[in-house]
Amino acid sequence: MRRLSILIALLLIAMPVQANMFSMLGTNVERMIGQMAYDDLVAEYGGVLELRPDAASYLDTLFTRVVEANPRRDIEFSLTPLNSREVNAFALPGGFVFVTRGLLELVDTPEELAGVLGHEVAHIAHKHGMNALVRQVGLVTLARLLLRSTEGNQEMLETLAGLSINLLKSGWSREAEYEADASGARFAATADYDPAGLIAFLTKMQEMQGDRQRDLVSTWFASHPPTEDRISKLLPLVKEHHEERFFLPNDRLPRRWVQGADPLSGLKACA
Ligand SMILES: [Zn+2]
Distance between terminal CA atoms of the chain?
52
The reply to whether 253 falls in a domain is no
Mean of the per-residue pLDDT values for the chain? 83
C-alpha span between 53 and 32 (Å, rounded): 29
The pLDDT > 70 percentage for the chain reads 80
Contact by Cβ (8 Å): 11, 143: yes
The reply to whether 185 falls in a domain is yes
- Ligand 1 centroid–CA 185 distance in Å is 12
The reply to whether 32 falls in a domain is yes
Q: What pLDDT score does 249 carry?
A: 63
- Ligand 1 centroid–CA 172 distance in Å is 7
The reply to whether 109 falls in a domain is yes
Total number of domains constituting the chain = 1
State yes or no: pLDDT of 241 exceeds 70: yes
- Ligand 1 centroid–CA 91 distance in Å is 8
Beta strands in the chain (DSSP E): 78-82, 89-92, 96-100
The reply to whether 258 falls in a domain is no
The pLDDT > 90 percentage for the chain reads 50
Backbone angles phi, psi at 240, to 5 degrees: -55, -35
- Ligand 1 centroid–CA 118 distance in Å is 10
- Ligand 1 centroid–CA 168 distance in Å is 8
The reply to whether 269 falls in a domain is no
The reply to whether 260 falls in a domain is no
Contact by Cβ (8 Å): 98, 59: no
The reply to whether 262 falls in a domain is no
- Ligand 1 centroid–CA 147 distance in Å is 31
Residue 129 lies in domain: 2-243
- Ligand 1 centroid–CA 178 distance in Å is 8
State yes or no: pLDDT of 72 exceeds 90: yes
